[in-house]
Amino acid sequence: MTQDDYKLWTGEDASKYSTEQWTKLVTVASIRLASFLCLTELPKDAQGKLYDDIQCLLANFMAGVFAHEGTPQSIESKHVRNFTINFKTEAAANAFAQIAKQYGDIIEHYSNCDTVLVERRKNYHCRWCNGAC
């Protein structure tokens, strides 16, 4: 996935990364996303390109990772002068939870995990596994 593809799917500019950095980021994100889908690699078409919906999912997963970079998972309390505020924040939800919430249809289509979705997919014919899902 190129930086232009990323911008197409997310609307965010990634030009701050060099080509080498971008390649590393995409490689690691692809591996993590494939693992999330219980696959060994992300599905590609006959020409070796990621399908558009998977590319959209990957780009938005990366955007979620970038958005939460350096952000703590939750904050229990904060001391301000002479008082304390106790709270938990969900703004720092991890990228997997974010994409699962927003792109459940794409995840269901490609996921190879043993989940509740298996019953719905039992006779599902998907384009990348030649009906063997």
**Residue 50: which of 1, 11, 95, 96 has the closest Cα?**
1
The encoded tokens of residue 123 equal 């006779």
Query: What global pTM score does this model have?
Result: 0.68
pLDDT at residue 112, rounded to an integer = 86
Determine contact, residues 67/105, Cβ cutoff 8 Å: no
Q: What per-residue confidence (pLDDT) applies to 117? A: 39
50 or 119: which carries more pLDDT confidence?
A: 50
Residue 126 CA to residue 69 CA, distance in Å, equals 34
User: How large is the average pLDDT for residues 59-69?
Assistant: 85
Determine the pLDDT at residue 118: 37
Q: Say if residues 31 and 85 touch (Cβ distance below 8 Å).
A: no
Q: What percent of the chain shows pLDDT beyond 70?
A: 65
Contact, 15 vs 2, CB < 8 A?
Answer: no
Residues 76-126 pLDDT 10s: 555 556 666 555 444 445 778 888 888 888 988 888 886 443 334 444 444
Average pLDDT score, the chain: 77
Q: What is the pLDDT of residues 32-47, one digit of tens each?
A: 999 989 999 999 999 9
